[in-house]
Structure 1
Amino acid sequence: MNTPPPNQNSKGKIFSFSTLLFLLLLCVYLQGFFQRDLWPPDEIRVAEIAREMKERNSFIPYLNGKPFLEKPFLHYYLVSLSFQAFGENPVAARIPSLFFTFLTFFLLFLMGKAFQKPHWGIWSIFFLGLFQTFLLSSWLAILDNSLTFFTLLSLYGFLRANLKQKEAS
């Protein structure tokens, strides 16, 4: 009877469950992704800013020929890159939101792993994935999920630094 040590067996279960959860969330989150045009006013504004950035080949966001400096440019720039890669269409405008959604899920997994409890991250992903607002924001060409990701990334950085400091002392 060659049974693997408990550590290897639990790692395999976590990997299997997290892969299954990822595929399930991918199916759910792609379900409504391709089905509609851009909604006014937010999605249209984001798409127009990205289109003007692409047209000008600039990092500076413009709206109707005037600099639009109300929000950070990264999301708009990623939408403009998506336009360059996939053409100017509603799906291309929404790809960065979906990208940041899945980066947020991955970051939650890493946070659970940082606590030496990967299942915490998996449960966090599961519950966040159930939130209707988070699902709907991943279908929209808006900045909400990129803001969520970078806020969580700063929290993750703080968590890692705090855990390393505790290990050192």
Structure 2
Amino acid sequence: MLPFDWQAQGMSALYPAVARPFSDVLGVRAQARSLMTPSASFDFVPAAAIEKVLEAQPTNGLYWLGLAQALNDGGAPFEKVGAALAMSMTVEPMEARTVARRIVFEFSIWDKLSAHERATAINELAKLGRRLPDQERKDLKLLLSVAPATQRAEIQDELTRSGRFDTDFAKWLGI
């Protein structure tokens, strides 16, 4: 397996400088990448750059999520955003960090989601529950604090239907 040349692909911004020296060492490269993935930020990374990474790592749900975010931020049609989001769910349906970030993204584009996609987002939240990492919980609380009352009620109703709603969890989420 040939090493993926991040700088030649214009991707050096995706990884901290500390990882670049390991980019040609098999095993170490993968371990460094896996350690960095949870904190990788896709803010201001063009969709085309993320698509190049996905050519090398098509089963990385966090990158599919990053592509969905980049497409959404770039004003792409929601069909493309939704397709990238669906790929994130398909390739990493249970990876806690990816699921947590996906929940925050889904709640940030709530009005664009279908009823089924909303129910899926709420179901993911219910499954993850209090294992939602602190940063994502803070982000979600902020989104919910400015969300319309109808959205918060819909979330509470779906959580209640799933049997995973209780007042402590609601307080923990800020709803």
Short-chain TM bin: under 0.3
The alignment's TM-score, normalised by the length of structure 2, stands at 0.24
Ranked by relative contact order (alpha carbons within 8 Å, sequence separation 6 or more), the top structure is 1
